[in-house]
Structure 1
Amino acid sequence: MKNSQLKAGAILSYVSIFLSSVISLAYTPFMLRLMGQSQFGLFSLTASVVGYLTILDFGFGSAIVRYTAKYRALKQKENEYNLNGMFLILYTIIGLITAVAGMILYFNTERIFGAKMSFSEIKIAKTLILLLVFNLSISFPLGIFSSIMNAYEEFVFSKVINILRIIINPCIMIPLLLLGYRAISMVIVITILNIICLLINMWFCFSKLKIKIYFKKFEFGILKEIVGYSSYIFLGMIVDKINWSADQFILGAVSGTVAVAIYSVAAQINTYYLSFSTAISGVFLPRLTAMVAKNASNKEFSDTFIKIGRIQYVIMAYILGGFLLVGQDFVNTWAGKNYSSAFYIAAILIVPVTVPLIQNLGITILQAQNRQKFRSLVYILVASINIGISIPLGKIYGGIGCAIGTSVGLILGNIVIINIYYYKKIHLDIPRFWKEIFIMTIPVAIAFSFAFFISIFIGGSGYASILIRGLIFTVGYIPLMWFMGMNEYEKNLFEAPVRKISRRLGFRS
């Protein structure tokens, strides 16, 4: 295992997320004003609807990582290369199915959204759907190379390519927006950059990793095993899509593009929040698969689960506290007062989702142990409840009502039921996890209360006010978490990069 790649991959994930967030925070208000609520709503709605087709991955992406890592550990190169060929065939077929499904969606766009959209909006929406479906259809067969890179724990190269894409995208889009181009141009740029990055990953796999693709033998026995493994991941993907995309679809049907645009701003904030927790857990599947192969004990899994959860909580609690403190002023300044209610929608979403985010290594453990069945089945029920609540509340309260429906589902499934399952069936030490998280919450609560009290005496609004209040929270949070919340391992984890940089700059011997 490549420890340096694992650490560097996690660090570069945070760099990628940070850059993406900063660029998007600066770029999005500009984009909103030039595109307008209608065009932005159309882009968000079509992206959300076409995004449902990503479930056609069927969970095979995780299967590629797991089984490639397994064959590499066993040094079975022939099986590994046959696996590559089998997945390339499967994903090519999936790409074709995606194209057919996309065309069905294209020809039914007016029937689905005609009641709340004008003729010109329908026309633009159909063009966006065609472009997005093309992008997705190509991404399926080419995407196997990204999974192979993850299985080889080659995280640095893929993260660097992603960082470059994040930087290049606005550099191209800003001039186009200034020239009068809107949503269609945005999707064209996204598609071109995505295909270029996928082709670069393919080049890396063939030229650097020296992988091969064999079509000698289609192993139906292995395929059956993989389908069994992937099927519950697939169900989990459906639930995630429903939980995070259904609200925009519902609002598009019952409220129109303006409501979708407002909700999309909140959803974008939520997406940033989600991404900060997966930077660490996202690189652990090969490592945990090896632990399963070596028959690691329940205590080893619990220790890893708690260790990663604590690190994630240090980061997520800081982001959550800061957002609740300055979020309303931030949304009004960043997106505009027309999007003011996006703060309440985002808050309703991110407060409950914090718990599954600091526990998302549990999902990776389930995948490594091939025990996703219960989680997937429970989440199907939760998704049904989510939709059942969101539709009537969406009609009455708009985006806030839909967010409440999603939040109720999160609390029921992702917190209450899954924690019981982790404890009773997976034998993770959940009581110890919550005891440690509770202790770490004390400095968070003190820092937030202190900053909130001081903020009462700070007048004004805008970025200056946001920055001042954010700094006050930061000044309280860092020392309180350092001395009251963090253990020696965590302190060393944060100190190590600083010491390394200091030595290279000549500040320390």
Structure 2
Amino acid sequence: MTRVSQTFVSIVVAFFMMPFLIHELGDYWYGIWTVVGSLAAAYHLFDMGMASAVTRYVSQSFGLKDDHQANVTINTALLIYSVIALVIVLVSIGASYGARVFIDDPDSKDIIQILVLIIGVSVALEFPFNALAGVASAKLKFHQVALTRIAMTLIGAALTWWFISRGYGIIALAVITFCTARLSNLLYFFICRAAFPALRISRKLASRANAKELFQYSAWSFVIAIAYQMRNNVDNFVVAGFLSAASVTPYAIGLRLVDYVAQFLSQATNMFVPIFTGYHAREDNTELHNKLLFITRLNLVLALIAGGGLVIFGQAFINRWMGPTYTEAYWVMVILLVGRMIGFANHPLNSAMYAANKHSIVAKIDVIEVALNLALSLVLVQYLGLIGVALGTMIPLLLLRLFVLPYFACSSIGLPTVNYYRCMVRPILAVSLPLIGYFAWMKNHVQPDTYSNIAIYGLGMSALTALCALKLGFSKEEKCELRKIIPTRQLKALI
């Protein structure tokens, strides 16, 4: 619950801060901030999948009640991360000078150079704290970590509003980001220290053998991390490079709305790897297949309702949120939404692949997707602008997630592919038909132009489509499973 609250707070803060920053900084400087943020996200590739390996081995040591081995893993990771942090600082210095080459405006060169350096050093200083990955999760300290992040989000937003509204500019924004990140790191350390009183920090505890073990485990996670970062950030560089920094802003608006929906949906359905792993370990393929198809239908229903709502109300929402000058952001959003919702709907296949220890296939598909994304975006941006970049992202995601991933995933777990596709028919019909009808009615009778109207009609659409999905989109056995999930007696009766 606290994790969901953290996501909700982050989205609400971003909802209010994004138009504020665009208005105060302008499209050009907000576009620069977005591109620098993408560069900072790319720095996290230096993690090389190490955080997942540290989490796994630290959790394993705690499970075995071996505090010494946990300290060996933590200190080995700390040494590795310290070296990585130094490399990132050096790369940031080079990037800060290199940024001057790509900036035509002489008045902007110094500011952007300082900006890139501050953000790069900030990311570098975060890395040593990744050595504690796994401590908080293994000790079930999600609540404390989430509360810390909520507090830092609110503090950062308050400081940003105060300084930016008084004209301090984008460098102040970078400094605030730097300071809140350091405070967050410090609080995270205290949480981990309290959770693991036997924690010791000593270079003597670092182990070469342990380092080798960590690197071996992190290999495929690193590949997936590269693909994830590139998928989320390559578009900003393409837009800035081929169009302009100001053009990044409308693209970011469309992308941000899609991200908001995806974050909420993921919080509800991203916990099935352990469940699938249990079925796989017991070789209970029948139950694995049944649960996979059920979760796929559930994800598909959620994706159709959320995605359909964004298509119906997205234009009115953007006009109210940002103003009528960002019409192109709506079409960017719609195109990206198609690919992202398909990816969300078949995410249970990813979970099944991890459970079957076949995640190397997911990594390879991700790499192919990113390569096609970049190639298509570079070509289409020259003919279609922002729409071309969005199509370059959506097309590979659509093809690979809808056809390639199901083939390999179903083969890996012994599920006939035709059964996988057949399970989608009922929820698609159950949700799409009322969704289309509601859209046609809205088009002819209602034009919502306020947040309250958008919310009221949005709730009406959600209630109608959810009811149709519950009644018609699932089998009798699956409805029994839904009754176990749904909290209230009145909602259970609707099924």
Q: 1:175 is matched with which residue?
A: 162
Equivalent pair of 1:38/1:258 in contact (CA under 8 Å): yes
Paired residue type of 1:484: L
Equivalent in the alignment of 2:487: 495
1:83-482 alignment, distance < 5 Å: 83-111=73-101, 113-114=102-103, 117-213=104-200, 215-280=203-268, 287=274, 291=278, 297-299=284-286, 301-303=288-290, 305-367=292-354, 370-427=357-414, 431-455=418-442, 456-459=444-447, 461-482=449-470
The answer to whether residue 52 in structure 2 is matched with residue 62 in structure 1 is yes
Whole-Å Cα distance in 2 between the matches of residues 451 and 341 of structure 1?
24
Q: Distance in 1 between matches of 2:207 and 2:278?
A: 26
Query: C-alpha displacement at 1:471, in angstroms?
Result: 3.0
The equivalent position to 1:44 in structure 2, one of 34, 47, 51, is: 34
11-20 vs 29-38, greater mean Cα deviation: 11-20
Residue-pair matches, total: 485
Cα distance in 2 for partners of 1:267, 1:102 equals: 26
Normalising by structure 1, what TM-score? Answer: 0.87
Against the structure 1 CA distance between its residues 79 and 464, is the aligned structure 2 distance closer, same or farther, given a 3 Å change threshold? closer
TM-score by length of 2: 0.89
Greater shift after overlay, 351-360 or 459-468?
459-468
Map Cα deviations across residues 97-128 of structure 1 (whole Å, 9 max, x no partner): 111111111110022x22xx422233322222
Distance in 2 between residues matched to 1:51 and 1:110, nearest whole Å:
20
Distance in 1 (alpha carbons) for counterparts of 2:473 and 2:298? 11
Can you list the C-alpha shifts for 1:366-403, whole angstroms capped at 9, x where unaligned?
Answer: 44554332222232232222111111211222111011
Query: What secondary structure is seen at the aligned counterpart in 2 of 1:180?
Result: coil
- Distance in 1 of aligned mates of 2:414 and 2:67: 35
User: Greater RCO between the two (CA within 8 Å, min separation 6)?
Assistant: 1
CA contact (8 A) 1:482 1:491 kept: no
Give the 3 Å change call, closer, same or farther, for CA 156–226 of structure 1 in structure 2. same
What is the distance in 2 between the residues matched to 1:446 and 1:87?
53
The one-letter amino acid paired with 1:476 is L
**Counterpart residue identity of residue 468, structure 2:** L
Task: Find the residue that maps to 1:341 and give its secondary structure.
Answer: helix
- Per-residue Cα deviation, 1:25-78 (whole angstroms, up to 9, x for no partner): 233222221221011111001111232111111011111222223333333333
Report the AA paired with residue 95 of structure 2. L
Distance 2:254 2:23 in 1: 17
Please give the alpha-carbon distance, in whole angstroms, between the structure 2 residues aligned to 1:292 and 1:77: 30
Structure 2 CA distance, aligned partners of 1:484 and 1:190? 48
Gaps of 5+ in 2: none
Alpha-carbon distance change, 123 to 369 in structure 1, aligned in 2, over 3 angstroms = farther
Deviation of the 1:407 alpha carbon: 0.9
CA distance in 2, matches of 1:48, 1:142: 21
Give the counterpart letter for 1:143 in structure 2: N
Contact 1:42 1:121 in 2 (8 A): no
- Structure 1: which 5+ residue stretches go unaligned? 1-10, 500-509
Residue identity opposite 1:411 in structure 2: L
Structure 1 residues 310 and 31: alpha-carbon distance in aligned structure 2, compared to 1, 3 A threshold: same
Partners in 1 of 2:139 and 2:256 — Cα distance? 31
Amino acid corresponding to residue 132 of structure 2 in structure 1: F
Percent identity for Structure 1 against Structure 2? 19
Q: How big is the shift at 1:344?
A: 0.8
Check conservation: 1:382, 1:412, Cα contact below 8 A.
no
Q: Distance in 2 between matches of 1:195 and 1:338?
A: 37
The equivalent of 2:13 in structure 1 is 23
Q: Tell me, in whole angstroms, the C-alpha distance in 2 between the residues paired with 1:154 and 1:496.
A: 29
What amino acid is the match of 1:83? T
Q: CA deviation at 1:431?
A: 4.7
Q: CA RMSD in A?
A: 2.8
Q: Tell me by how many angstroms 1:309 deviates.
A: 4.1
Secondary structure at the aligned position of 2:486 is classed as helix
Q: Does 1:12 align with 2:2?
A: yes
1: CA distance, partners of 2:89 / 2:161: 30
1:99–1:134 contact (8 Å) kept in structure 2:
yes
Q: CA deviation at 1:485?
A: 3.4
CA distance in 1, matches of 2:331, 2:346: 24
Q: C-alpha distance in 2, partners of 1:292/1:74?
A: 23
Give the Cα–Cα distance (whole angstroms) in 1 for the partners of residues 412 and 465 of structure 2: 36
Quick check: 330-339 or 147-156, which moved more?
147-156
> 1 CA distance for matches of 2:457 and 2:80?
52
Describe the shift of the 1:381–1:109 C-alpha distance in structure 2 as closer, same or farther (beyond 3 A).
same
CA contact (8 A) 2:136 2:192 kept: yes
